Amino acid sequence: MLPPMPLPSRYPRSTFLQLAATVLALAAGRSDLVAASGSSAEQRYLYVAVPGIRNYLEYGGHGVLVFDIDRGHAFVRRIPAAGLSPEKKPLNVKGVVASAATRRLYVSTTQTLTAFDLMTDKIVWEKRYEGGCDRMALSPDGKTMYLPSLEKDHWHVVDAMSGDVITKVVPKSGAHNTVYGLDGKHAYLAGLKSPLLRVTDTTTHTISKEVGPFSSAIRPFTVNGRQTLCFVNVNGLLGFEIGDLRTGQKLHRVEVQGFQLGVPKRHGCPSHGVGLTPDEKEVWVCDAANQRLHVFDNTVMPPRQVASIAVREQPGWITFSLDGKLAYPSTGDIIDVKSRKIIGGLQDETGAQVHSEKVVEIHFRGGVPVSNGDQFGIGRVMK
């Protein structure tokens, strides 16, 4: 067999990478990547997994919807998805994560985990796991996933490239929400049946610390970039509580002022959704019954309530764009963070409103993914 022919030195490696990206895009029918493959500027897209509000198909149907952030969140395409029940009905989407490093997108449902190739939109594999699936988290290098069972005793630690199970972590907490620290050293595990936030050492995949107890079972939560603080929603609270990730102690209980608890349509708790702006200067918290997002100044401790924003439906999640300029609640509203004004709303190819608690931002350059956000509103200040 002849040895491979070396690339001509007069052509930079980036030229061949762009050519390869163009060929892949053409093969997959990806006209957006073909158009971008000759550009050095970053293209920013929002990937929205649906049905992302329970199994309600009226909020965007079934699949992964892609929106062009830099063109007013214009609808780009719908990626066909699997995630079907034995009766061939779409299952509730439970989580979405991405890795630009490995060029993968992952969508979990109550029963399945699906891996997509970000270059082609094709499904690489789909697997079912003991106990079902919930909202997962991916390591910064994209190689390891913490995948909770569906409110059962355990989390699977998964090889994200193959989908194979590496080991289990078994806190017996009603596995539900998961965050991976930005430095990759720790994962944070919250269950529906426990007031404790578990912290794992990701070199051994064992629980190294417990934070709390908080006043009730933990619902959505987030952590700051330095992994010194956690901000958690709990049952029965319109607001959030704060824990010290170093000492394991609960620090503060922060209640929304001026609004009644009311009765939420979903999730069974007043606040299901809390996020930090990437610069960590603000905490935003969902208020389902009052159809509001409440904004808190996080430069003081405890954070101080400063604003409330009415949205088009009951919010059950909140995250932010990587640059911190936009907020994405699950209602599909697009909010300018600085002015706190709604500047648009997600719509699918039919013009219908899109709502989802499972969204992730991905950037491409020359048709190749180069960076990605997270479904949680995690802080990104690491110094």
Q: What are phi and psi of 306, to 5 degrees?
A: -130, -20
17 and 126: one domain?
no
Sheet holding 326-329, edge to edge: 318-320, 326-329, 333-336, 341-345
178 and 29: one domain?
no
The answer for residues whose C-beta is within 8 angstroms of residue 102's C-beta and 6 or more apart is 141, 142, 143, 160, 161
pLDDT in tens, 95-109: 999 999 999 999 999
For 60, left (φ over 0), alpha (ψ -120 to 50), or beta?
Answer: left
124 and 273: one domain?
yes
23 and 103: one domain?
no
Q: What was the pLDDT predicted at 8?
A: 40
Spans of the chain below 70 pLDDT: 1-29, 31, 33-39
244 and 355: one domain?
yes
237 and 335: one domain?
yes
327 and 256: one domain?
yes
Domain count for the chain: 2
In this structure, is residue 236 part of a structural domain? Answer: yes
In this structure, is residue 4 part of a structural domain? Answer: no
**What is the dihedral sign for C-alpha 12, 14, 18, 19?**
positive
Q: What was the pLDDT predicted at 3?
A: 37
In this structure, is residue 265 part of a structural domain? Answer: yes
pLDDT in tens, 232-266: 999 999 999 999 999 999 999 999 999 999 999 99
CATH number of the domain encompassing residue 119: 2.130.10.10
In this structure, is residue 348 part of a structural domain? Answer: yes
Is residue 207 within 8 Å of residue 199, measured between CB atoms?
yes
List the domain range (segments joined by +) for residue 19.
11-40
235 and 105: one domain?
yes
Give buried/exposed letters for 275-300 (b at 16+ CB in 10 A, else e): bbbbbbbbbbbbbbbbbbbbbbebee
In this structure, is residue 381 part of a structural domain? Answer: no
18 and 71: one domain?
no
- Rounded-to-integer distance, Cα 378 and Cα 51, Å: 23
In this structure, is residue 378 part of a structural domain? Answer: no
Q: Is residue 36 helix, strand or coil?
A: helix
In this structure, is residue 96 part of a structural domain? Answer: yes
- Rounded-to-integer distance, Cα 297 and Cα 161, Å: 40
Is residue 305 within 8 Å of residue 290, measured between CB atoms?
no
72 and 186: one domain?
yes
Torsion of CA 171, 173, 177, 178, to 10 degrees: -10
Q: What was the pLDDT predicted at 24?
A: 55
203 and 311: one domain?
yes
Token readout for 67 is 């929106």
Q: Is residue 371 helix, strand or coil?
A: strand
Is residue 83 within 8 Å of residue 98, measured between CB atoms?
no
In this structure, is residue 377 part of a structural domain? Answer: no
199 and 295: one domain?
yes
